Amino acid sequence: MRKKVTVVGAGNVGATVAQRVFDKGYADVVLVDIIEGLPQGKALDMLESGPVLGTDAKVVGSNGYDETANSDVVVITSGIARKPGMSRDDLLLTNMKIVTSVVTEVAKRSPNSVLLPVTNPLDAMAQRAFQVSKFPKNRVVGMAGILDTARFRTFLAQELKVSVEVVSAWVLGGHGDTMVPVVGSTNVGGVPVAKLIPKARLDEIVKRTQNGGAEIVNLLKTGSAYYAPSAAVVQMVESILLDKKQILPCTVYLEGEYGIKGLFVGVPVKLGAGGVDQVIQFDLTSEESAALQKSAAAVAELVEVMKKAG
């Protein structure tokens, strides 16, 4: 039997995730949205691409949750996206309500699934999904770090005129302006990046990475990024469904690792069949460590606002 992936939210990110998973052919997909006809129409359109792509997987759309029962992975993209001038944090209270109701529905029907929140502000939404689902911490894994790292790798490869594949980089911390591109652990073909790019230029690339989401929002004007985010989600889905045990930067619940307690923050983790197998501990410089603490403090502030809102 094929694995089953539910994607909640049939907008830009959700529909592109569904398409990418369907195209691979190893999992059936259920696409859920509140807008009548939208998930059904997109799912049917995708299904009809199967004969051309050589995919026998099934994809269905729904405005309810019964079809999602016994999913292996549930990707949560429902919510509002940024417009120019908005920060991810401006989405907090609206998306908190949406994520709460969605997680309540999916957790009931797929109690053994791994939840992958994508909705922003990501770290706070992952925390919410964890609280509402009451799932063990290894089965709630937020998507942000792979995307932020992919942006960093893209810019570094452009700068050095090398393949993106030879750029090994890490961006940790919260998915916001305080994210931490870990320059000390970034290398190109095994050579530390700090030896290849002068500090002033490297600082500019780090800044561009931190503002990577806003750069896209300002170009699109009507929404936010979805090609790179959906590709990042699918890397996580694949590591889980195929039990690949890849080591990837993901947003997980920390209980003392990196000196952070009781919060969802982006760190390197080993991702396999049951979700998070292990948090990987990197050696950080004191500067990187301080930046990670600052980023965690920014996440804690949002969690506090959510607590007050109920």
Active site members: 175
Find the helix or strand (DSSP H, E) in which 231 lies.
helix 227-241
* Dist. CA 4–CA 71, nearest whole Å: 5
Contact, 87 vs 65, CB < 8 A?
Answer: no
What minimum distance in Å lies between the beta carbon of 63 and ligand APR?
8
Does 81 bind ligand APR (CB under 6 A)? Our answer is yes
* Residue window 230-259: x/- pattern of binding to ligand APR, with contact defined by CB under 6 A: ------------------------------
The nearer residue to ligand APR, 113 or 185, going by C-beta atoms, is 113
* Dist. CA 142–CA 164, nearest whole Å: 24
* Residues paired with residue 8 on neighbouring β-strands, in sequence order: 32, 76
* Residue window 20-59: x/- pattern of binding to ligand APR, with contact defined by CB under 6 A: ------------xxxx------------------------
What minimum distance in Å lies between the beta carbon of 220 and ligand APR?
9
Does 138 bind ligand APR (CB under 6 A)? Our answer is no
The nearer residue to ligand APR, 13 or 193, going by C-beta atoms, is 13
Residue reference for tokens 């694949």: 238
List of residues 6+ apart from 139 with CB closer than 8 A: 113, 114, 115, 133, 274, 275, 276
The nearer residue to ligand APR, 149 or 186, going by C-beta atoms, is 149
Q: For the stretch 16-49, what's the b/e string if a residue is b when 16 or more beta carbons lie within 10 angstroms of its beta carbon?
A: bbbbbbbebeebbbbbbbeeeebbbebbeebbee
Does 12 bind ligand APR (CB under 6 A)? Our answer is yes
Contact, 74 vs 113, CB < 8 A?
Answer: yes
What minimum distance in Å lies between the beta carbon of 98 and ligand APR?
4
Does 91 bind ligand APR (CB under 6 A)? Our answer is yes
Enumerate binding residues for ligand APR (CB under 6 A): 8-14, 32-35, 77-79, 81-82, 91, 95, 98, 101-102, 118-120, 223-224, 226, 229
